[in-house]
Amino acid sequence: MKIRYLLLLSLSSLVIVSCVGEVSNQQSLQSPAAVNASVPVSSTQTKSSAQSPDSTVMKSGSFVSGEHTTKGTVRITNKEGKSFLELDESFKTSESGPDLVVILHRSDNVINSTKPPSYPLKNGDYFILAPLQKYSGAQTYSIPQNINLADYKSAAIWCRKFNATFGAASLSQ
């Protein structure tokens, strides 16, 4: 009787592990935008681009790792009266998140104002700009005109599904 239960448990474990591996393999082959295809993408997302010479840097900061290693520089720029959040070429974060988004946060120290290991965020403390376009490299996100940038002191990469902050950058002038 014990052997039957052990055999059943082993078989169940094998099926579960193989299913999880299959889902992981399929997700890793897709870009973050494809993984987040079910998430409505706002009109605030724009194509990646290097900083334009006629844009003005309003705020900038460097990422500090939270739940996962995240590094690089972020800038808030203004070009022709429109604001953009730009991640530079050195930006890199973990590919572990199923639902990564780029956010603006009200705190100037997101990582130290939350609790490890996930560094969860409270609803109302942040504004979601758009799903993360790619896990590394330069990318640009449009900031809606109705957003008062004075209310937001950090930018962060956040896993919406698990409420885990991968990394955050305090923005200073």
| Residue-level pLDDT at 55 | 80
DSSP annotation of 43: T
Phi, psi of 92 (to 5 degrees): -160, 135
As averages over each run of 10 residues, the pLDDT of the chain (173 residues) reads: 60 47 40 39 42 79 96 96 96 94 96 89 95 97 96 96 96 93
Contact 85, 140 (CB under 8 A): yes
Contact 119, 165 (CB under 8 A): yes
Peptide bond into 117 cis (omega under 30): yes
Q: Is residue 50 included in any domain, yes or no? A: no
Q: Extract the tokens encoding 96.
A: 């572990």
| Residue-level pLDDT at 16 | 52
**Count of domains observed in the chain:** 2
* CA-wise closest residue to 40 among 128, 120, 125, 123: 128
Q: Is residue 85 included in any domain, yes or no? A: yes
Q: Is residue 39 included in any domain, yes or no? A: no
| Residue-level pLDDT at 27 | 41
Let me know whether 85 and 14 are in one domain.
no
Q: Extract the tokens encoding 133.
A: 């376009």
- Per-residue CA distances from 6 to 9, 11, 13, 17, 172 (Å): 5, 9, 10, 16, 58
Parent domain of 7: 2-30
Let me know whether 12 and 83 are in one domain.
no
Over residues 85-125, the pLDDT tens digits come to 999 999 999 999 899 999 999 999 999 888 888 899 999 99
| Residue-level pLDDT at 34 | 39
The 10 Å Cβ neighbour count of residue 69 is 12
Contact 118, 165 (CB under 8 A): yes
Q: Is residue 152 included in any domain, yes or no? A: yes
Let me know whether 25 and 75 are in one domain.
no
Q: Dihedral sign, CA of 113, 119, 124, 128?
A: positive
